[in-house]
């Protein structure tokens, strides 16, 4: 007997136990079409699939960047105390200080 015509799984019940690999593949292919999402028709009142869970992605211009800064421990303690008095986080205090500095910064003059 050729290897090709040998039953693939003789322990299977009924006619499946006598089928070759090709016959079993052909038999299973007809059932796979039934479950394929590619050929499924759209159900009229079905809701669309939900998007990924979690926060929505921000555009690149709105994304925050992490910044590593170095400062003396006593200055950091003073900044933390000032932030606590105002009900801010350390990052919010630094952000506010940078915004204020940019707003009030004197323009540099170009020397001739």
* pTM score of the predicted model: 0.44
Which of 7-11, 19-23, 80-84 has the highest average model confidence (pLDDT)? 80-84
Which distant-in-sequence residues (6+ apart) come within 8 Å of 6 by Cβ?
Answer: 20
Percent pLDDT > 70 in the chain is: 75
The string of pLDDT tens digits covering residues 36-83 is 555 556 666 666 666 677 888 888 888 888 899 999 999 999 999 999
Return the pLDDT at 26: 84
Q: 73-86 vs 90-104: helix axis angle to the nearest 10?
A: 90
* Residue 54, SS3 per DSSP: coil
């Amino acid at each position: 007997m050729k290897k090709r015509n040998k039953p693939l799984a003789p322990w299977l019940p009924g006619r499946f136990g006598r089928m070759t690999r090709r016959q079993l593949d052909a038999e299973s292919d007809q059932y796979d079409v039934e479950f394929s999402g590619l050929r499924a028709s759209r159900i009229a009142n079905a809701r669309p699939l939900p998007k990924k869970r979690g926060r929505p992605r921000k555009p690149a211009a709105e994304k925050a960047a992490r910044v590593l800064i170095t400062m003396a421990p006593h200055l950091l303690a003073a900044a933390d105390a000032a932030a606590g008095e105002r009900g801010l986080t350390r990052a919010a205090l630094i952000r506010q200080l940078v915004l204020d500095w940019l707003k009030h910064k004197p323009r540099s003059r170009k020397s001739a």
